[in-house]
A and B are shown apart, each in its own frame.
Chain A
Amino acid sequence: MADFNIRTDAVDVEQIMRQIRARIQEKRGVDYTEEQIQELAGVKLERFLDPKGVRSDLVQQFKQARDRKSDPFQPQLYSIDANDLYGSGRGVVRIVRKVLNPILKLFLNANRLVQVLHQQTEINALYEQQFHLLREKSQQRDEIDVLYYELVHNLVLELTRVGIEHRNVKMRLESLSSRMDFDERRARALEGVVQYRPDTGPARDATAPQPQARPASQPALPQQVPAQDTHAQPGSVPDEQAAESSTTRRRRRRRRGRRGGRGRMPGDTATPETAEASSPENSATPPHGDPTASAALEANAGEADFDADSGEDEGPDPSAQ
């Protein structure tokens, strides 16, 4: 993360918070809360159920169908036999009917009537059984409908999450892509400024001993390095001057060679803490005196005023898990 270079009297906390929120939005898209995702998913669910607007009340009907509860069919079962026809709660009546039964048989066939009614009873029982089966199936269907609704709901919820995640990843990809472009342009710019001279070749560079740790007091800005060459006194020994010039150039090339990997973003502001890191050994920032590199940096300036992703550049924190 780059520095907020702020004077104490100029701190505007609300402005900083707006900046941070804008950065979050830029990095991750809108930061939805769980409630917002639910609400969003609810809206999407309606669209999903009614994609073409063919039936605008489909959602309501679907919900009503889930809520509608029909009363279970309960047929009144009865069975008839001879006792029902001739029986009675009163003993006297029952005896009279039994006595008069032969006379009744002269007028109609009561046995046949009992038989038909008995068959009807059996049919009723069969229907009742089938109604029972249908009711069970209906209940199962209702339960499946609930599951189905939940499934669709959860699918849409996940779809919403995935959509948001997709957008966030897309934005991150764009960010990484722009960074990569920046790195490529910087690499090209750095390659362009490397100039081989007759007295310094790859072989000499390869055999040249690596410098030891440079003292902290040594100038940090590379633009000061050529100044050492130009400020050489006329009266000094030419061999020493040439050797010193050659050593300086070699040192500068080695520095450039090491500045290939990670580095600060262009918008990073130097701070007392980062001053040490901005030394050539530690920093990947191109030299301020290098016009090509500066141009390359300026071309990419404004990508970010502070690098909110520097932690990601360094990879995940090993202690994070």
Chain B
Amino acid sequence: MKLAIVVQRYGADINGGAELHARYVAEHLSRHANVEVLTTCARDYVTWRDEYPSGVEQVNGVAVRRFSVDHERDVKTFARLSEHVFGQEHSYLDELKWLDAEGPKSTPLLSHARSARASYDYVLFFSYRYYHAYHGVRAVPSRAILVPTAERDEAIGLAISPRIFRGARALMYNSPEERRLIEAVSNNHHVPGVVVGVGSEIPERPQGERFRQKYAITGRFALYVGRIDQNKGCNELFSFFLNGLQALPRGLRLVLIGKEIVPIPDHPRILHLGFLDDQDKFDALAAADLLLMPSYYESLSMVALEAWAMGKPVLANGRCEVLRGQCIRSKAGLYYETQAEFIETLRAIAESRGLNGALGANGRCFFQQHYSWPVIEHKYLDMLAQLKESDRVDGAAHRPNAARNAAIEPEPGFFGRRRRTFRPAADVLAELPSGPVLN
């Protein structure tokens, strides 16, 4: 079986959520199938500037075919179009322009996917909201498997989004909340789908003491791993932590790992270590009392899964329905929404060894049951086998791809594209169901 994985960026040094997700899946599926990654030459997710050379290279044993992007992102145009389609009545053409402006637009990549589609059994598209996913699914609908990595943001309320949710052969969801969101917006119950998520490479023996010695950290600490950005809820985290210092457990520090985007308060109990490699990251998780996840929007928090894999409890932002749902389902984390809840939950986890241990043990069990690599691989292979069987039945009935191609809804015509009949995406999003999925 030959698979193609299409993703906006790809590289061993790229740590974005969906990109890392794609790399892990590619590397693990390559043990069961011939996998080729189709991606752009971009490294920077803001500009999509070509930085990698185009052509074929090997990354961790996986063939990666890179294509140049047509243009870099014009941030002002993208912001203006985003404001328009998210907040005002607009046309289908406006949404296509928005998709183009968002990028990374790579016509050669799509041409290759279209021309070489016969050489791939299935094509996995990552991140529904990008140019390659929308046009790629439309280019190879009979072979397209979508890994949407959808979050609760306005893009899902656009009119172009439900079309590819309904048009793909199958969807690999990250969480039950994501599945509910997509099914509600697109009514794609007929499309096969499974909640998969992604595993993580957990080292055999992470050493917390090594981390403590290396960075001269003593005492207990809560750990945050990720981009230190306002969008990740870091400002609120700093505010809650500093405002609640007097009530927090004595000596508990906040250790931050990741690239600094917003200023970090200068305080002796807040320690920023910058970007660390995987060994240091896992050592830090081993040494930490708990992991903090202050993000408002997540489709799946890989670092939370890694913390659970290592038996560490997670304190998450309760306003992120995915994280909240994961905490409840896993029984491995608490969540907060207000300052007072932040303090009390942090105290409960940090001071109560019984609770800390129970949550951690549940997290390890939850990870093993749902997110260990054998489980993830099994779900992917099951889905591929299911599609293969469906294709075989269709082939026997002499209707190989015609039915699938017909299932893709055609785009509106010349006048239909220009008619401003689509509601603001924010309004659509507001009507979608929210909250954690508990069953």
Interface residues of A (CB under 8 A from B): 1-8, 11-14, 16-17, 20-21, 23-24, 28, 31, 33, 269, 271-273, 306, 308, 310-312, 314, 316-317, 319-321
- Write out the residue numbers on chain A whose beta carbons fall within 8 Å of the beta carbon of B348: 1, 4, 16, 20
Those of B310-345 within 8 Å (CB) of chain A? 327-328, 331-335, 338-341, 344-345
Task: Taking A11-B332, A16-B334, A24-B340 as given, write out 14 further A-B residue pairs in contact, using a Cβ cutoff of 8 Å, ordered by the A residue number.
Answer: A11-B358, A11-B359, A13-B328, A17-B345, A20-B344, A271-B352, A271-B353, A311-B248, A311-B347, A312-B247, A317-B251, A319-B245, A320-B245, A321-B245
Q: Which of B250, B352, B358 contacts A306 (CB 8 A)?
A: B352
Binary interface profile of B, 248-267, with partner A (CB < 8 Å = 1, else 0)?
11110000000000000000
Q: Are B250 and A317 in contact (CB under 8 A)?
A: yes
The chain A residue with its CB closest to the CB of B253 is: A319
| Contact residues of B: prevailing secondary structure | helix
Number of interface residues of B (CB under 8 A): 35
Q: Are B245 and A317 in contact (CB under 8 A)?
A: yes
Distance in angstroms between the alpha carbons of A317 and B328 in the assembled complex: 32
Given the interface pairs A5-B354, A20-B341, A271-B353, the reply to whether A311 lies near B247 with Cβ below 8 Å is yes
Tell me, yes or no, whether B362 is within 8 Å of chain A by CB.
Answer: yes
Given the interface pairs A1-B347, A1-B351, A317-B248, the reply to whether A11 lies near B340 with Cβ below 8 Å is no
Q: Are A11 and B331 in contact (CB under 8 A)?
A: yes
CB distance from A101 to the nearest CB of B (A): 74
Tell me, yes or no, whether B61 is within 8 Å of chain A by CB.
Answer: no
Q: Which of A6, A316, A317 contacts B355 (CB 8 A)?
A: A6
- Write out the residue numbers on chain B whose beta carbons fall within 8 Å of the beta carbon of A24: 340-341, 344
- Write out the residue numbers on chain A whose beta carbons fall within 8 Å of the beta carbon of B341: 17, 20-21, 24, 31
- Write out the residue numbers on chain A whose beta carbons fall within 8 Å of the beta carbon of B333: 13
Q: Which of A20, A33, A310, A314 contacts B345 (CB 8 A)?
A: A20
Q: Are B362 and A319 in contact (CB under 8 A)?
A: no
- Write out the residue numbers on chain B whose beta carbons fall within 8 Å of the beta carbon of A23: 344
- Write out the residue numbers on chain A whose beta carbons fall within 8 Å of the beta carbon of B335: 13, 17
- Write out the residue numbers on chain A whose beta carbons fall within 8 Å of the beta carbon of B361: 8
Q: Are A31 and B340 in contact (CB under 8 A)?
A: yes
Q: Are B246 and A320 in contact (CB under 8 A)?
A: yes
Q: Are A4 and B354 in contact (CB under 8 A)?
A: yes
Given the interface pairs A1-B347, A4-B348, A17-B334, the reply to whether A271 lies near B247 with Cβ below 8 Å is no
Distance in angstroms between the alpha carbons of A314 and B251 in the assembled complex: 13
The chain A residue with its CB closest to the CB of B335 is: A17
The chain B residue with its CB closest to the CB of A309 is: B247
Tell me, yes or no, whether B268 is within 8 Å of chain A by CB.
Answer: yes
Tell me, yes or no, whether B404 is within 8 Å of chain A by CB.
Answer: no
- Write out the residue numbers on chain B whose beta carbons fall within 8 Å of the beta carbon of A28: 340
CB distance from B215 to the nearest CB of A (A): 19
Q: Are A273 and B344 in contact (CB under 8 A)?
A: no
- Write out the residue numbers on chain B whose beta carbons fall within 8 Å of the beta carbon of A314: 250
Tell me, yes or no, whether B71 is within 8 Å of chain A by CB.
Answer: no
Q: Are B340 and A269 in contact (CB under 8 A)?
A: no
Given the interface pairs A3-B353, A5-B354, A31-B340, the reply to whether A311 lies near B250 with Cβ below 8 Å is yes
| Contact residues of A: prevailing secondary structure | loop
Tell me, yes or no, whether B180 is within 8 Å of chain A by CB.
Answer: no
- Write out the residue numbers on chain A whose beta carbons fall within 8 Å of the beta carbon of B249: 1, 311
Q: Are A12 and B331 in contact (CB under 8 A)?
A: yes
Q: Are A16 and B344 in contact (CB under 8 A)?
A: no
Given the interface pairs A3-B354, A13-B331, A271-B353, the reply to whether A316 lies near B344 with Cβ below 8 Å is no
Q: Are B338 and A31 in contact (CB under 8 A)?
A: yes
- Write out the residue numbers on chain A whose beta carbons fall within 8 Å of the beta carbon of B269: 319
> What would be 7 A-B contacts, judged by CB atoms less than 8 Å apart?
A1-B352, A3-B352, A8-B331, A28-B340, A271-B354, A311-B247, A319-B251
CB distance from B33 to the nearest CB of A (A): 37
Distance in angstroms between the alpha carbons of A41 and B248 in the assembled complex: 31
Q: Are B353 and A14 in contact (CB under 8 A)?
A: no
- Write out the residue numbers on chain B whose beta carbons fall within 8 Å of the beta carbon of A319: 245, 251, 268-269
Q: Are A8 and B250 in contact (CB under 8 A)?
A: no
The chain A residue with its CB closest to the CB of B252 is: A317
The chain B residue with its CB closest to the CB of A270 is: B354
Q: Across the A-B interface, give the 8 residue pairs with the lowest CB-CB distance, nearest first.
A: A4-B355, A320-B245, A1-B351, A11-B331, A8-B361, A320-B246, A4-B352, A8-B358
CB distance from A22 to the nearest CB of B (A): 10
Distance in angstroms between the alpha carbons of A17 and B359 in the assembled complex: 13
CB distance from A82 to the nearest CB of B (A): 68
Distance in angstroms between the alpha carbons of A321 and B268 in the assembled complex: 10
- Write out the residue numbers on chain A whose beta carbons fall within 8 Å of the beta carbon of B332: 11
Q: Are B352 and A8 in contact (CB under 8 A)?
A: no
Distance in angstroms between the alpha carbons of A87 and B358 in the assembled complex: 106
CB distance from A315 to the nearest CB of B (A): 10
- Write out the residue numbers on chain A whose beta carbons fall within 8 Å of the beta carbon of B339: 31
- Write out the residue numbers on chain B whose beta carbons fall within 8 Å of the beta carbon of A316: 246
CB distance from A164 to the nearest CB of B (A): 13
The chain A residue with its CB closest to the CB of B365 is: A8
CB distance from A305 to the nearest CB of B (A): 11
Distance in angstroms between the alpha carbons of A17 and B342 in the assembled complex: 11
The chain B residue with its CB closest to the CB of A318 is: B250
Distance in angstroms between the alpha carbons of A320 and B253 in the assembled complex: 11
CB distance from B437 to the nearest CB of A (A): 13
- Write out the residue numbers on chain B whose beta carbons fall within 8 Å of the beta carbon of A317: 245-246, 248, 250-251
In this complex, which of A7, A12, A308 has the most chain B Cβ atoms within 10 angstroms of its Cβ? A308
Those of B346-379 within 8 Å (CB) of chain A? 347-348, 351-355, 357-359, 361-362, 365
Distance in angstroms between the alpha carbons of A12 and B251 in the assembled complex: 28
Distance in angstroms between the alpha carbons of A11 and B333 in the assembled complex: 10
- Write out the residue numbers on chain B whose beta carbons fall within 8 Å of the beta carbon of A4: 348, 352, 354-355, 358
- Write out the residue numbers on chain A whose beta carbons fall within 8 Å of the beta carbon of B334: 13, 16-17, 20
CB distance from B214 to the nearest CB of A (A): 23
Q: Are B328 and A6 in contact (CB under 8 A)?
A: no
Those of B202-251 within 8 Å (CB) of chain A? 245-251
Q: Which of A3, A13, A308, A312 contacts B344 (CB 8 A)?
A: A308
Distance in angstroms between the alpha carbons of A34 and B347 in the assembled complex: 24
Q: Are B352 and A2 in contact (CB under 8 A)?
A: yes
- Write out the residue numbers on chain A whose beta carbons fall within 8 Å of the beta carbon of B351: 1, 3, 310
Distance in angstroms between the alpha carbons of A62 and B363 in the assembled complex: 59
CB distance from B271 to the nearest CB of A (A): 13
Those of B259-287 within 8 Å (CB) of chain A? 268-269
Q: Are B354 and A14 in contact (CB under 8 A)?
A: no
Distance in angstroms between the alpha carbons of A84 and B221 in the assembled complex: 93
Q: Are B347 and A272 in contact (CB under 8 A)?
A: no
Q: Are A11 and B362 in contact (CB under 8 A)?
A: yes
The chain B residue with its CB closest to the CB of A16 is: B334
CB distance from A28 to the nearest CB of B (A): 6
The chain B residue with its CB closest to the CB of A10 is: B358
CB distance from A31 to the nearest CB of B (A): 5
- Write out the residue numbers on chain A whose beta carbons fall within 8 Å of the beta carbon of B354: 3-6, 269, 271
